[in-house]
Structure 1
Amino acid sequence: MEAAARRALRIHVEDNVAVVLQAVAKGDTVELAEGRLTALEDIPRGHKIALSDVAVGQDILKYGHPIGRATQPIRRGAWVHTHNVQTKLGDKLSYQYAPSLAQGHMEGNLEALPDMFEGYVRENGEVGIRNEIWVLPTVGCVNKMVERLAQAAHAELAGAGIDGVYAFPHPYGCSQLGDDLGYTQKAIAGLARHPNAAGVLVVGLGCENNQIDWLQAQLGDVPAAKVRFMTLQSVEDEFEAGLSHLRQLGDYARRFRRTWVPVAKLRLGLKCGGSDGFSGITANPLVGKVADLFTNRRAAALLTEVPEMFGAETILMNRAQDERTFSDIVQLINDFKDYYIRHGQVIYENPSPGNKEGGITTLEEKSLGCVQKGGHGPVTAVLPYGDLAQGGGVQLVQAPGNDLVSVTALALAGAQLVLFTTGRGTPFGGPVPTLKIATNSDLYERKRHWMDFDAGRLVGGASMVDLAAGLYRQIVDVASGLSQTQNERFGYREIAIFKDGVTL
């Protein structure tokens, strides 16, 4: 009896590996558009199969780029993964600007997609997609108090024009020095500026390094009526004083009403977490197409996870709109490599155990899949951690790959909503609506209470045009308050602040 046929996908014409779309057993016939081959061993779904014999030291090609080199002879039909492939990446590199702006192409008529959404226009011209009140601790030792305060205020104020009252605890603010303290101050200031928060109560203890008056100096043009401050050691009854502040912020927040504004006012955060072998085939390129649709309408698409640009950084560098932006990207990459070196860590560490289990072998492979989320438009800016994005286009945000830290960094850059692709799944949500996009349909069906969109349909025959249009409309609906993301429905909201320094 002939062995069962299993499908596989060769992504680029130059690739010498393909991704198996179903688990393959030894002896199975594997079908590709270019023909058939026989599997020499068991290969998990989403992993790679060799399309030709590969010699020791020869490049493994995926997406048309090297993702590593063979460490032993690999026969046609063999499983290609960490046991026979290693990274080609080295330490810090020199780069030259070679502009190469590929244009994204979308078949079909997408002119009917909406150019407007209903948002909250703030006094300073910023636009939010939620009308919330946020309670922000300056220091970790007041966390439980602000959580209790936010819960009480939420029960009293939510509804009637206020979408909710939420606290964002964190463990920092005390015994920090230098840049480490600076990151915490930038994070709190960035959250206080965020347009999804109509009102903000900043709560300090009084004796911490992260003093409220230092923080106030970083707020910029935040309207005075939006932010209130409370130092617990200076009030007799902090709970009643806090509720009084929040009630007055509630009165201020109710002044705002949704109004029609251009989608150019949106800043979309782009993030992937827990990748698999389908991430670079389905969800990430889909998000890239959607990013193109929004940036073509002058919105901003914010791409982060700097270590997950390593190995694909030249693609972004060559999309820089000018040489100054190119130099900023080089500095972004090299500064993060210095951060690794300073802490004695390997720059090109392999992907996480979950990524490896999902079929990602090297950092190059992870990165080449990740950067697809940024679409094809020019890179218009590089943002240091905590800086607010200005204008549209693809902008790179300084932050690590960690899900909580990088999503928080996107919010600090002004993202009102984050598109989060994943092949492994997570209940996590950031401080802003976090729309989670499954790379495979199995994950979407198993974790419907986590996931918001099924990009796995692409390997089942759905068209990129149809799914991109559907995701675009879903984003506009979420931005207009017509629907919520799953993290919002279940109350999964949290932040994590980037740390780099000594704690006393």
Structure 2
Amino acid sequence: MALIQIHEADNVAVMLEDVKAGEAIISAGITLVALEDIDKGHKIAIRDVQQGEAVIKYGFPIGHAVVNVKAGSWVHTHNCKTNLGDVLEYEYQPNLLQVPAACNHMTFQGYKRENGRVGVRNEIWIIPTVSCVNRTAQLLAKWANDEFAGVDSVDGVFEYTHPYGCSQLGDDHETTQRILAALVNHPNAGAVLVLGLGCENNNIAEFKKVLGEVDAERVKFLIAQEVEDEVVSGQEVLKELVAYASKYERSECAAADLVVGLKCGGSDGFSGITGNPLVGAFSDQLVACGGSSILTEVPEMFGAETILMNRAKDKAVFAKIVTLINDFKDYFKSYNQPVYENPSPGNKKGGISTLEEKSLGCTQKGGRSIVCDVLHYGQSVSAKGLNLLNGPGNDAVATTALAAAGCQIVLFTTGRGTPLGTAVPTIKVATNSDLFRHKANWMDFDAGQMLAGKSLETVREEFFQYVLAVASGQQTKAEIMGFREIAIFKNGVTL
């Protein structure tokens, strides 16, 4: 029976295969007898842990034992509980790690835009200002993809429907406008049709105030109530936009032009051992090349936040991270919800017991780089390097926020599997090889190779080349299947 002790200080290890009660385990210098059946990916106590004592994984506490736990016992939600609580005070204790540069002049074939940004796709996007015209947007996208199927220089026409744009107040209304404006300005969109109804709160005249100045050839507007047949009128506008976008061709771009989002969902016991460390190593390499990465899912930083805080480039960024964490805790408390209400049922089934355990695995996607900035929800990235983004753990909302922040690609690690895709190419990284084989139609890359003995450095190089191939036009599984949803955060009243 094989297991892995991640850190020398750990008092639990992770099973690499199922074990039955009574079976002997001799692995990596550890000799145990399993006291009960334990599934792979789950934790086994490698020494006695007394009631109230910290359960240690990754070298950090992931909770405490609520009963005496004997060596060889299964450690999970029945005997391990969170240490998390309310809002905390923090002190800046800089621990800026040295991350070796590993760039080697990495390039990809992308689309250079006039404003200096670079896209990895040259698509036409239809952005509804309000849900009332969602179906119109769908009809127009279907027509355009049939009509312009032979136009090689355009990578497709896609609508991004949502349930908002009217009957919202205050922050929610502004949030919807910011996210939609960021998508209109996204470099993966060669051209954009903004489709409105006419009487909505987020009517085109109001939306333009948030959107700012745009290229009138690249972005066109259509108000459905002001034309006799909005579908026919929309088709005419799309003809103009396809003609405009067709002028772009792929050319060599530096890896420094990439902005990549970092996300996980449906984690398992291997997420913090394979997929998330792999994405973290990728992030460090991209930052070394002069590129940018963005880590979100604030609730999944709880319990591991000091690791990120102590990597802040200065006290100003440290203060932003403190605000990011404590404001999100206050958001939970404002609805009388516990701040530690995570992990999900799927996470627990995969072997994760507490939010600290999930967070310590989750934050590994940020690698070891210095945290250079913290972004508000709906804010676009401006600083090169590793950024943190305010957003929830919800997969659809978080990936949309990453796209809106300027990510051309999102890296999504999972040990449970999901077909999810957002407005930008979403690369699904399987944390175990069983998942990669079982859901080959969902998963793009197998990080489980690391469990079979392949080194992190070797897999990182393979993965970096794969990401560059996607940036150069290779489609992800989500793109092939047509999974391209967006979701916008909501926190207030609907009229």
Q: Give the structure-2-normalised TM-score.
A: 0.98
SS at match of 1:19: strand
Query: Which amino acid in 1 is paired with 2:304?
Result: A
Q: Deviations over 1:360-397 (max 9, x none)?
A: 00000000000000110100111111111013110011
**Cross-structure match for 1:491:** 482
- Determine if contact 2:105/2:254 at 8 Å carries over to the other structure: no
Of 251-260 and 215-224, more deviation after overlay is shown by 215-224
2:39 aligned to 29, 38, 44, which one? Answer: 44
2:134 aligned to 143, 158, 161, which one? Answer: 143
Q: What is the distance in 1 between the residues matched to 2:106 and 2:112?
A: 16
Q: What is the distance in 2 between the residues matched to 1:310 and 1:135?
A: 37
SS at match of 1:93: coil
**Cross-structure match for 2:278:** 286
- Determine if contact 2:105/2:289 at 8 Å carries over to the other structure: no
Query: How far 1:267 moved relative to its partner?
Result: 0.2
Q: What is the distance in 1 between the residues matched to 2:377 and 2:213?
A: 18
1:246 aligned to 230, 238, 251, which one? Answer: 238
Query: Which amino acid in 1 is paired with 2:485?
Result: E
Q: Do structure 1's residue 53 and structure 2's residue 53 form an aligned pair? A: no
Q: What is the distance in 2 between the residues matched to 1:419 and 1:104?
A: 21
SS at match of 2:84: coil
Q: What is the distance in 1 between the residues matched to 2:4 and 2:407?
A: 34
**Cross-structure match for 1:343:** 335
Of 189-198 and 383-392, more deviation after overlay is shown by 383-392
Query: How far 1:219 moved relative to its partner?
Result: 2.2
- Determine if contact 2:131/2:165 at 8 Å carries over to the other structure: yes
Query: How far 1:224 moved relative to its partner?
Result: 3.0
Q: Deviations over 1:261-320 (max 9, x none)?
A: 211110000000000000000000011111111000110010000000010011000000
2:300 aligned to 308, 321, 329, which one? Answer: 308
1:237 aligned to 229, 242, 256, which one? Answer: 229
Runs of 4+ in 1 over 4 A off after TM superposition: none
Q: What is the distance in 1 between the residues matched to 2:318 and 2:294?
A: 16
Q: Do structure 1's residue 167 and structure 2's residue 159 form an aligned pair? A: yes
Q: What is the distance in 2 between the residues matched to 1:12 and 1:167?
A: 47
1:223 aligned to 215, 220, 227, which one? Answer: 215
**Cross-structure match for 1:102:** 97
Q: Do structure 1's residue 385 and structure 2's residue 380 form an aligned pair? A: no
Q: What is the distance in 2 between the residues matched to 1:377 and 1:49?
A: 31
- Determine if contact 1:7/1:30 at 8 Å carries over to the other structure: yes
SS at match of 1:338: helix
Closer, same or farther: CA 221–11 of 1 in aligned 2, 3 Å: farther
- Determine if contact 1:383/1:396 at 8 Å carries over to the other structure: yes
**Cross-structure match for 1:3:** none
Q: Deviations over 1:471-496 (max 9, x none)?
A: 00001111111x11111111111100
- Determine if contact 1:7/1:32 at 8 Å carries over to the other structure: yes
Number of residue pairs the alignment of both structures matches: 494
Query: Which amino acid in 2 is paired with 1:96?
Result: E
**Cross-structure match for 2:463:** 471
- Determine if contact 1:104/1:292 at 8 Å carries over to the other structure: yes
Q: Deviations over 1:51-101 (max 9, x none)?
A: 111111000000000000000110000000000011001100001111102
**Cross-structure match for 1:65:** 60
Q: What is the distance in 1 between the residues matched to 2:307 and 2:215?
A: 40
SS at match of 1:119: strand
Q: Do structure 1's residue 210 and structure 2's residue 202 form an aligned pair? A: yes
Q: How does 1:62-141 map to 2 (within 5 A)?
A: 62-104=57-99, 113-141=104-132
Q: How does 1:448-463 map to 2 (within 5 A)?
A: 448-463=440-455
- Pairwise CA RMSD: 1.2
Q: Do structure 1's residue 413 and structure 2's residue 405 form an aligned pair? A: yes
Q: What is the distance in 1 between the residues matched to 2:230 and 2:245?
A: 22
Identity of aligned residues (%): 55
Q: What is the distance in 1 between the residues matched to 2:11 and 2:26?
A: 15
SS at match of 1:344: coil
**Cross-structure match for 1:426:** 418
Of 90-99 and 341-350, more deviation after overlay is shown by 341-350
Query: How far 1:461 moved relative to its partner?
Result: 0.9
Closer, same or farther: CA 78–105 of 1 in aligned 2, 3 Å: farther
Q: What is the distance in 2 between the residues matched to 1:167 and 1:28?
A: 55
Query: Which amino acid in 2 is paired with 1:488?
Result: E
SS at match of 2:210: coil
- Determine if contact 1:124/1:222 at 8 Å carries over to the other structure: no
Closer, same or farther: CA 105–40 of 1 in aligned 2, 3 Å: farther
Closer, same or farther: CA 222–13 of 1 in aligned 2, 3 Å: farther
SS at match of 1:225: coil
SS at match of 1:188: helix
- Gaps spanning 5+ residues in structure 1: where? 1-5
Q: What is the distance in 2 between the residues matched to 1:295 and 1:334?
A: 27
Q: Deviations over 1:232-268 (max 9, x none)?
A: 1111110011111111111110111111121111000
Query: Which amino acid in 2 is paired with 1:496?
Result: A
Q: What is the distance in 2 between the residues matched to 1:222 and 1:71?
A: 59
Query: How far 1:444 moved relative to its partner?
Result: 0.1
- Gaps spanning 5+ residues in structure 2: where? none
Query: Which amino acid in 1 is paired with 2:63?
Result: G
Q: What is the distance in 2 between the residues matched to 1:148 and 1:37?
A: 62
Query: Which amino acid in 2 is paired with 1:10?
Result: Q
